[in-house]
Each structure stands twice: as structure tokens, then as C-alpha cells.
């Protein structure tokens, strides 16, 4: 069934479908669901592997924020670029990375995207335009502006997305980068995924304005607030910002209000928020459940179709973990490789 | 090839190198504070903005951290930025991007990217600019794997090393002593490079090796001239690059002379001289030493304003003379 047929079937005459149902084919919409499952199951798989001691270090999970990553990436092409954050697994998958190579990276293997040198916090896939997650809050924001400067100088049609969290909006790098991007009308989109807390410190306790998007006014760019748990809202804001950027009209600041179900990292004891708050988000506002319900309501997918996608994702995740387990570790003698560019 | 050789100042040599890079490679552009119509705080960029336009000679806001990050992002995605810090001291505002991003991005991504950014740092004391505009922070950056750190001492070298830096796939940090900007020397026209990571013997000698960096090379050469009349034959090694360091040239020199004096302007403790000394102590040259290694570095103080105090903060020619005289006659 096409989206148009679905529209005819389920909507009263004259009613408007949300943005993505007007913009994208049923295939694209199902692919978005597929990727949102992939993000969640990837992180659940990574978490389980961590618990079982297969992954060391730490990781920052974005479970609950899947619509934000996916919605922003929907209007992007493979040529467009992103810079990501320490909570960047979702961005990486949404932009097109393969979960097998991501698992391999988390397992520290040579087949990983960073050949075992980066891990979760530096996950990247340059081939699909992900210039890398970043261990420094706000570290990727000026880099995205630099990538946008390249896009403008080379007169490419490329846009660059800079993902960051609410914590980064109090870093100097955020302000310096937004100012320059606006001044030079660069094709960059600043996406603040506001999950309410910079580690344990809430927006109210850290930020002198109510919304991160309010800060856009100081840099003469549009500031847009969206419900980050509603895929269509996020994608619509991204679509408009991408259009502006490609036309040379400059940057946009999108604030995607969302929530992370898990703690900040593996050391988090969740002392700064209540169980009720977490449960409310998980039960009433889950971005995947909401999207599934919409798709079914508009007749784009049925329960069997959903189950089929879930099953395919389960297999993809299981295969990815097996690939990672079976991959070789880097050799100690290659410890210093990649510090500098090898000259032949 | 016939390349006419002119006398150029160190600043003119840098400007010429940048002009050649801008002319020959569309990807090259300059970024920095007041480098456009103002011509740069030390008139190094001069009128380049008139020749190459404001799109390629970009005045940034006073945003060292953001500006350095923009340069890093541009480098990773295919351009060749040359980023000017107005004073090397302002690197402190951008350490995040230099140390965490530029230096590590290639490694963190397992070789998937290179970061061909060049950063220029006007450094050093002697201009009466006091504690926050006179530092020599090269050893800070020299401590970071992933960066290359150079300190050219002559107009010839700074042109050739800057062009080598632009051609280099990795981040290169150039520390330019401000008192060198007006010094003159022979510089060939056109394109040439001077390799990064290779020291240069400025004066051959038998009795003692001075390993010096940047402006201290000239002070060491001046001292060597005086010492020659006293019958002390000094070899002067211009280190030129502090990361990666040319160990071989220094080791061979010390094996020949059996005595080592390190002269550098940065604070003495944990500085370039500490690294050179330790490197010699760990090498086969150690057995050749006839006297303990001596370091002359900056005093353990911020750079003061008063001109006499300022001079006393960093090694001067008389300090070098005294150190050499003592070292040349000393024994283990």
C-alpha cells in the first residue's frame, strides 16, 4: 500500500498527515522504523556485552532518543556529514553505518570502524559522512563549522549536522561556533538533543535560559524546538533547516527535547531523577512505540510487518556480535600506527 | 634550477611561503585574528588579503577555540588551512581543539582521516609585552603525539618549513619567535621545502655541542664567535623540530665533542632541554660525555614587564659564554 492510499483510507477529507507521511515513501518510512529498532537493539546488545565483560571501558547509551537521531538524518544524503557526541551510537547508525563494524569497534577489534583505537566514544564512519563521536562536550561543534566551511568553499551541495547535548550549550565552543557559522552563512545545522540532564545537572540548574533554542536569537539564526520523541516533528525541522542550508541561507539551531532512559554512563546511580520520571517517559512517550502506532494508524504497516522488521533486526544484531567476537584484535606491534599519516 | 636569492626578513619569508601556497593550491586558505586589512599583529600576512581576497584570508572573530576547531574541521574535510594565533600564549584558549581533536583525530578514527592543518604561533619574550604575550609554550605541544612542532630560526628555514608543513598530511605547529620577524637572511625565490624532523648543524666545532632552538641559535652562534678567539671550538646544532626530534644529528654531534649545552627560551624545567638531555643520557653518546650536561632555559617565573628583568628571564649571550667556559673545562 502506498502512503497516498493509506491517507485515503484512514484520514478524514482535508486533514493533513504529519510531515513525513507527506514527504517520504512507505519504504522509506519502514526503513526509518528498521533503523530505530537497530539503534535500540544495538545499544541493548552493547549493554549486554558490556555486562558480560565482552566490552570494556564505558559507554553512553541513547536508548529513548532514537527518533531524534533518525529524524535529523532522514533528509540527509550520504554525502552530507555529521559530527557526533559521546552519546553517538544512534547518530552513527541513522547516518548509515553497519552495526557489525560498530560492534567490532566496541569489542576493540581491527575490523571496527576505528580499528579498535576509538571505541564507543569515538565511533565514526567517514564513508557515510560521520566524522566521529567526541569525548569532549562541545568538541565537535567547531569541527562541524569547519566542515561546512569546506562545503561552501568547494561549492558542494553538502550540509553538515552538528549533534550535541544540552550540556554542551554552556561550553564556549558552542557560542564561538554558532557565531562564526551565522556570520559566514555556512551550511551547518546545530542539533541540540536536550535530554534534560548534563550528566546529573538538569537544564534548570545549569542554564540561564528556558530553552537551548532561545540562544539562537543571540546568533541571528532560527531556533526551533521539537518534540524529539516524535519522528515526524524532528524530520520536518531537519528538512527545513537542510533546505535553508543548501540555499545558502545559513545555519539553524534545532532543539530536540528528549530523554535518555539509561544513566549518563555505566557509573550512574540515577540519584538526580526519580523512578516515576523515568517510567513516565518510558511508558507514555517512547519514540519507537509512538512511531509504530502512527504507522499502523495510517495503514503503512501491520503487526506482522512490524514483527518481520524486528526479527530482521534481531538477526542483524546477533550476526554483528558474532562478527565482532570472531574478528582479530590489533597487534601490539602496531600500537603507534595511525598517530601520523604513513608516508610511502 | 636557477632561483634568485634575495635578502628577506623572516616575516617576509613567511608571507612569501603563504603566497606561494595560496597561489599553487586552491585548498589553502588563511584564518586568524586581524590578518586581513590589518595585515596581522606582526604584519606577517601583510597585504595578502588584497592579493587573494577575504575568502582565502579570513579574519576570524576573537574566538581562538572556535577558530582552531573550524580549521581542524576544514582540514579533515579536504582544505589546507593555515591558522594564525595572534600570540602563542593564546594557544591556551584553544588547547582543547589542538590537543584533543587535531592531534588525536587520525588515531581515534583508526587512520580514516588526516588532519593537514598548519598553526602558526608568534612566540617568545623581548617585546615588553609581559607575562601573557611573551611565553614559549612549544614544549607543551611537543608533548602531544599526533602533532609536529617546529621552530625555524632563519628566513630560509621558515619559508621552506612552512611550505613543508602545508604539504604535510598531519597537524604542524610552527613557533615563530617574534624577535626573529625582522631578522634578515638569504631566501631563494619560488617553491622549496626544508624537511620537518631534521636538525641542522649551523657551525661545526670540536670542543662542545650547543643544541639550541629558535632565537637561541643566533645567540649561540654569536657566543661561538667570541669563544673561537678564546680557543674554544663550539658546534651549534639548530634543532629546528622538537617533535619528531632528530636524535641522530644530536647524538653524532655529542659523540664528536663529548660536551653538551642545551639553550632554549622556554621555562627550563620539563622543557626542550630536559628532553634533549634525557635523550643523550639514554643514548650511546652518554659514554662519550666528558662532563655533565648543562641546560640554559627560561627562569622559573612568568615573563616580567621591566626590560632588565625581562632580559634576565631568558638566556642571553653572556649566559651562554659563561656556561660554555665552565663546561669546556669541566670534567666528570
Distance from CA of A123 to the nearest CA of B (A): 7
Residue B239's pLDDT is what? Answer: 98
> Does residue A4 surpass a pLDDT of 80?
no
Compare all CA atoms of chain A with the CA of B145 and give the residue at the minimum distance. A339
Name B318's Cβ contacts closer than 8 Å, sequence gap at least 6: none
| Spatial separation of the C-alpha atoms in residues B80 and B30, rounded to whole Å | 9
A267: confidence class by pLDDT, cuts 50, 70, 90: confident
Please check whether residue A115 touches B, CB under 8 A.
Answer: yes
| Among A117, A135, A147, beta carbon nearest to B73 | A147
The answer as to whether A340 is a domain residue is: no
Q: How many residues does chain A have?
A: 344
Closest by CA position to B117, among listed B141, B89, B143, B92: B141
> Does residue B64 surpass a pLDDT of 70?
yes
Interaxial angle between packed helices B272-281 and B247-257, expressed in degrees from 0 to 180 and rounded to the nearest 10: 70
- What rounded mean pLDDT belongs to chain B? 97
| Spatial separation of the C-alpha atoms in residues A201 and B238, rounded to whole Å | 52
Query: What CATH number has the domain bearing residue A164?
Result: 3.40.50.970
Is A177 in contact with B78 (Cβ distance < 8 A)? no
- Give span(s): CATH 3.40.50.920, chain B: 200-329
Active site residue B284: no
Is A114 in contact with B97 (Cβ distance < 8 A)? no
Please check whether residue B158 touches A, CB under 8 A.
Answer: no
The per-residue DSSP string of B7-24 comes to EEEHHHHHHHHHHHHHHH
Is B69 in contact with A172 (Cβ distance < 8 A)? no
Please check whether residue A296 touches B, CB under 8 A.
Answer: no
Please check whether residue B67 touches A, CB under 8 A.
Answer: yes
User: Residues 63 to 92 of A: which have CB under 8 A from any B CB?
Assistant: 81, 83
Active site residue B204: no
Is B109 in contact with A132 (Cβ distance < 8 A)? yes
The answer as to whether A189 is a domain residue is: yes
For residue B211, give the 3-state DSSP assignment: strand
Q: Which of B32, B65, B69 should be substituted to probe chain A, the one whose Cβ sees the most A Cβ atoms within 10 Å?
A: B69
- Give span(s): CATH 3.40.50.970, chain B: 7-188
Please check whether residue B59 touches A, CB under 8 A.
Answer: no
| Among A113, A131, A136, beta carbon nearest to B110 | A113
| Spatial separation of the C-alpha atoms in residues B210 and B328, rounded to whole Å | 11
Compare all CA atoms of chain A with the CA of B79 and give the residue at the minimum distance. A150
Catalytic residue, from B16, B33, B64, B176: name it. B64
pLDDT digits (tens, 9 = 90+) for B128-186: 999 999 999 999 999 999 999 999 999 999 999 999 999 999 999 999 999 999 999 99
Distance from CA of B297 to the nearest CA of A (A): 30
Compare all CA atoms of chain B with the CA of A110 and give the residue at the minimum distance. B110
The answer as to whether A63 is a domain residue is: yes
Is A146 in contact with B109 (Cβ distance < 8 A)? no
Residue A5's pLDDT is what? Answer: 56
What is the 3-state secondary structure of chain A? CCHHHHHHHHCCCCCCCCHHHHHCCHHHHHHHHHHHHHHHHHHHHHHHHHHCCCCCCCCCCCCCCHHHHHHHHCCCCCCCEEECCCCCHHHHHHHCCCHHHHHHHHCCCCCCCCCCCCCHHHCCEHHHCECCCCCCCCCHHHHHHHHHHHHHHCCCCCCEEEEEEHHHHHCHHHHHHHHHHHHCCCCEEEEEEECCEECCEEHHHHCCCCCHHHHHHHHCCCEEEEECCCHHHHHHHHHHHHHHHHCCCCCEEEEEECCCCCCCCCCCCCCCCCHHHHHHHHHHCCHHHHHHHHHHHCCCCCHHHHHHHHHHHHHHHHHHHHHHHHCCCCCHHHCCCCCCCCCC
> Does residue A264 surpass a pLDDT of 60?
yes
For residue B225, give the 3-state DSSP assignment: helix
Give the alpha-carbon dihedral of A304, A305, A307, A312, to 10 degrees.
Answer: 140
Compare all CA atoms of chain B with the CA of A115 and give the residue at the minimum distance. B110
B330: confidence class by pLDDT, cuts 50, 70, 90: confident
Please check whether residue B270 touches A, CB under 8 A.
Answer: no
Compare all CA atoms of chain B with the CA of A121 and give the residue at the minimum distance. B108
Compare all CA atoms of chain B with the CA of A330 and give the residue at the minimum distance. B110
Which residue do the cell numbers 540527509 mark? Answer: A76
pLDDT (mean) for A106-134: 98
| Among B29, B109, B170, beta carbon nearest to A341 | B170
Is A115 in contact with B78 (Cβ distance < 8 A)? no
pLDDT digits (tens, 9 = 90+) for A18-37: 999 999 999 999 999 999 99
H or E stretch covering B31: strand B28-32
A311: confidence class by pLDDT, cuts 50, 70, 90: very high
Is B108 in contact with A116 (Cβ distance < 8 A)? no
Distance from CA of B190 to the nearest CA of A (A): 25
Spell out which residues of chain B touch residue A150, defining contact as CB-CB under 8 Å. Answer: 73-74, 77-79
State the residue range of the domain holding A130. Answer: 57-284
pLDDT (mean) for A311-318: 98
> Does residue B331 surpass a pLDDT of 90?
no
H or E stretch covering B294: strand B294-298
The answer as to whether A295 is a domain residue is: no
Residue A269's pLDDT is what? Answer: 87
The answer as to whether A13 is a domain residue is: no
The answer as to whether A29 is a domain residue is: no
Residue B329's pLDDT is what? Answer: 87
Is A142 in contact with B78 (Cβ distance < 8 A)? no
> Does residue B318 surpass a pLDDT of 70?
yes
Which residue do the cell numbers 542550508 mark? Answer: A245
Is A149 in contact with B110 (Cβ distance < 8 A)? no
Give the alpha-carbon dihedral of A329, A333, A335, A339, to 10 degrees.
Answer: -130
Catalytic residue, from B16, B133, B200, B275: name it. B133
Q: How many CB pairs under 8 A join A and B?
A: 146
| Among A134, A142, A150, beta carbon nearest to B65 | A142
Centre a 10 Å sphere on the Cβ of residue A255 and count the other Cβ atoms it contains. 24
Residue A6's pLDDT is what? Answer: 54
Kindly state the percentage of chain B with pLDDT values over 70.
99
> Does residue B240 surpass a pLDDT of 80?
yes
CATH 1.10.357.10 is right for the domain spanning B7-188 = no
Closest by CA position to A11, among listed A22, A25, A26, A24: A22
Question: Is the Cβ–Cβ distance between B20 and B187 less than 8 Å?
Answer: no
Please check whether residue B68 touches A, CB under 8 A.
Answer: yes
The per-residue DSSP string of B56-110 comes to TEEEPPS-HHHHHHHHHHHHHTT-EEEEEPSSGGGGGGGHIIIIIIITTHHHHTT
Instruction: For the domain made up of B200-329, give the CATH fold.
Output: Rossmann fold (3.40.50)
| Among A126, A136, A341, beta carbon nearest to B96 | A136
| Spatial separation of the C-alpha atoms in residues A339 and B235, rounded to whole Å | 33
The answer as to whether A41 is a domain residue is: no
> Does residue A9 surpass a pLDDT of 70?
no
The answer as to whether A66 is a domain residue is: yes
Give me the half-sphere count of Cα atoms (radius 13 Å) on the Cβ side of residue A152: 24
Spell out which residues of chain A touch residue B90, defining contact as CB-CB under 8 Å. Answer: none
Give the alpha-carbon dihedral of B158, B160, B166, B172, to 10 degrees.
Answer: -50
| Among B76, B109, B110, beta carbon nearest to A147 | B76
- The total domain count for chain A is 1
> Does residue B119 surpass a pLDDT of 70?
yes
User: Residues 305 to 344 of A: which have CB under 8 A from any B CB?
Assistant: 337-341, 343
pLDDT (mean) for A126-131: 98
Question: Is the Cβ–Cβ distance between B174 and B161 less than 8 Å?
Answer: yes
Compare all CA atoms of chain B with the CA of A127 and give the residue at the minimum distance. B112
Q: How many angstroms separate the Cα of B162 from the Cα of each of B109, B117, B171, B195? A: 27, 11, 12, 10
| Among B60, B96, B109, beta carbon nearest to A124 | B109
Centre a 10 Å sphere on the Cβ of residue B81 and count the other Cβ atoms it contains. 27
Spell out which residues of chain A touch residue B101, defining contact as CB-CB under 8 Å. Answer: 134, 136, 139, 143
Least confident of A146-150, A267-271, A275-279, B203-207: A267-271
Is A341 in contact with B169 (Cβ distance < 8 A)? yes
pLDDT digits (tens, 9 = 90+) for B271-299: 999 999 999 999 999 999 999 999 999 99
State residue B202 phi and psi, 5-degree precision: -80, -25
Distance from CA of B276 to the nearest CA of A (A): 22
Amino acid at each position: 500500500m502506498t502512503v497516498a492510499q493509506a491517507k485515503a483510507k484512514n484520514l478524514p477529507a482535508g486533514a493533513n498527515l504529519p510531515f513525513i507521511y507527506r514527504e517520504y515513501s512507505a519504504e522509506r518510512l519502514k526503513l526509518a522504523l528498521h533503523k530505530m529498532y537497530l539503534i535500540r537493539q544495538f545499544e541493548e546488545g552493547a549493554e549486554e556485552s558490556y555486562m558480560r565483560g565482552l566490552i570494556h571501558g564505558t559507554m553512553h547509551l541513547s536508548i529513548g532518543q532514537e527518533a531524534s537521531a533518525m529524524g535529523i538524518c532522514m533528509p540527509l544524503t550520504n554525502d552530507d556529514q555529521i559530527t557526533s557526541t559521546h552519546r553517538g551510537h544512534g547518530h552513527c547508525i541513522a547516518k548509515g553505518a553497519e552495526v557489525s563494524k560498530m560492534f567490532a569497534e566496541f569489542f576493540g577489534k581491527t575490523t571496527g570502524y576505528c580499528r579498535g583505537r576509538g571505541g564507543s566514544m569515538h565511533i565514526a564512519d567517514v564513508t557515510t559522512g560521520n566524522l566521529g563521536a567526541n569525548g569532549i562536550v562541545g568538541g565537535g561543534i567547531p569541527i562541524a563549522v569547519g566542515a561546512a566551511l569546506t562545503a561552501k568553499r568547494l561549492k558542494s551541495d553538502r550540509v553538515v549536522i552538528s549533534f550535541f547535548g544540552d550540556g554542551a550549550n554552556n561550553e564556549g565552543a558552542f557560542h564561538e561556533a554558532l557565531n562564526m557559522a551565522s556570520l559566514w552563512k555556512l551550511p551547518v545545522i546545530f542539533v541540540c538533543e536536550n535530554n534534560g540532564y548534563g550528566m546529573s545537572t538538569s537544564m534548570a540548574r545549569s542554564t540561564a535560559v528556558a530553552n537551548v533554542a532561545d540562544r539562537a536569537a543571540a546568533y541571528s539564526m532560527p531556533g526551533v524546538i521539537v518534540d524529539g520523541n516524535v519522528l515526524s516533528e524532528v524530520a520536518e525541522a531537519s528538512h527545513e533547516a537542510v533546505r535553508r542550508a543548501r540555499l545558502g541561507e545559513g545555519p539553524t539551531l534545532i532543539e530536540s527535547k528528549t530523554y535518555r532512559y539509561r544513566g549518563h554512563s555505566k557509573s550512574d546511580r540515577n540519584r538526580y531523577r526519580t523512578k516515576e520520571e523515568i517510567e513516565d517517559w518510558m511508558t507514555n512517550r517512547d519514540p519507537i512505540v509512538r512511531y509504530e502506532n502512527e504507522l499502523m494508524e495510517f495503514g503503512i504497516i501491520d503487526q506482522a510487518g512490524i514483527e518481520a522488521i524486528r526479527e530482521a533486526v534481531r538477526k542483524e544484531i546477533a550476526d554483528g556480535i558474532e562478527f565482532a567476537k570472531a574478528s582479530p584484535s590489533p597487534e601490539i606491534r602496531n600500537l603507534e600506527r595511525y598517530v601520523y599519516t604513513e608516508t610511502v | 634550477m636557477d632561483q634568485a636569492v634575495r635578502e628577506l626578513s623572516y616575516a617576509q619569508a613567511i608571507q612569501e611561503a603563504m603566497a606561494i601556497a595560496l597561489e599553487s593550491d586552491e585548498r589553502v586558505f588563511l584564518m586568524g585574528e586581524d590578518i586581513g586589512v590589518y595585515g596581522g599583529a606582526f604584519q606577517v600576512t601583510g597585504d595578502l588579503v588584497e592579493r587573494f581576497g577575504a575568502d582565502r584570508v579570513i579574519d576570524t572573530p576573537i574566538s581562538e577555540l572556535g577558530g582552531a576547531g573550524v580549521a581542524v574541521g576544514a582540514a579533515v574535510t579536504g582544505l589546507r588551512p593555515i591558522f594564525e594565533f595572534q600570540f602563542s600564549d593564546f594557544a591556551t584558549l584553544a588547547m582543547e581543539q589542538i590537543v584533543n581533536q587535531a592531534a588525536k583525530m587520525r588515531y581515534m578514527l583508526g587512520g580514516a582521516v588526516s588532519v593537514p592543518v598548519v598553526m602558526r604561533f608568534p612566540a617568545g619574550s623581548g617585546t615588553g609585552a609581559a607575562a601573557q604575550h611573551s611565553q614559549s609554550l612549544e614544549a607543551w605541544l611537543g608533548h602531544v603525539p599526533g602533532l609536529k612542532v617546529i621552530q625555524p630560526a632563519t628566513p630560509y628555514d621558515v619559508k621552506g618549513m612552512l611550505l613543508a608543513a602545508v604539504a604535510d598530511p598531519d597537524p604542524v605547529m610552527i613557533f615563530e619567535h617574534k624577535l626573529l620577524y625582522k631578522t634578515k637572511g638569504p631566501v631563494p625565490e619560488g617553491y622549496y621545502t626544508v624537511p620537518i624532523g631534521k636538525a641542522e648543524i649551523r657551525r661545526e666545532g670540536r670542543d662542545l655541542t650547543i643544541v639550541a632552538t629558535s632565537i637561541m641559535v643566533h645567540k649561540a652562534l654569536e657566543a661561538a664567535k667570541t669563544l673561537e678567539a678564546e680557543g674554544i671550538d663550539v658546534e651549534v646544532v639548530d634543532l629546528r623540530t622538537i617533535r619528531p626530534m632528530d636524535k641522530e644529528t644530536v647524538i653524532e654531534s655529542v659523540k664528536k665533542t663529548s660536551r653538551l649545552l642545551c639553550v632554549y627560551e622556554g621555562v627550563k624545567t620539563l622543557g626542550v632541554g630536559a628532553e634533549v638531555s634525557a635523550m643523550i643520557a639514554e643514548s650511546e653518546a652518554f659514554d662519550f660525555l666528558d662532563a655533565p650536561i648543562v641546560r640554559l632555559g627560561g627562569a622559573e617565573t612568568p615573563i616580567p614587564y621591566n626590560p632588565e628583568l625581562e632580559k634576565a628571564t631568558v638566556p642571553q649571550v653572556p649566559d651562554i659564554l659563561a656556561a660554555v667556559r665552565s663546561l669546556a673545562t669541566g670534567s666528570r
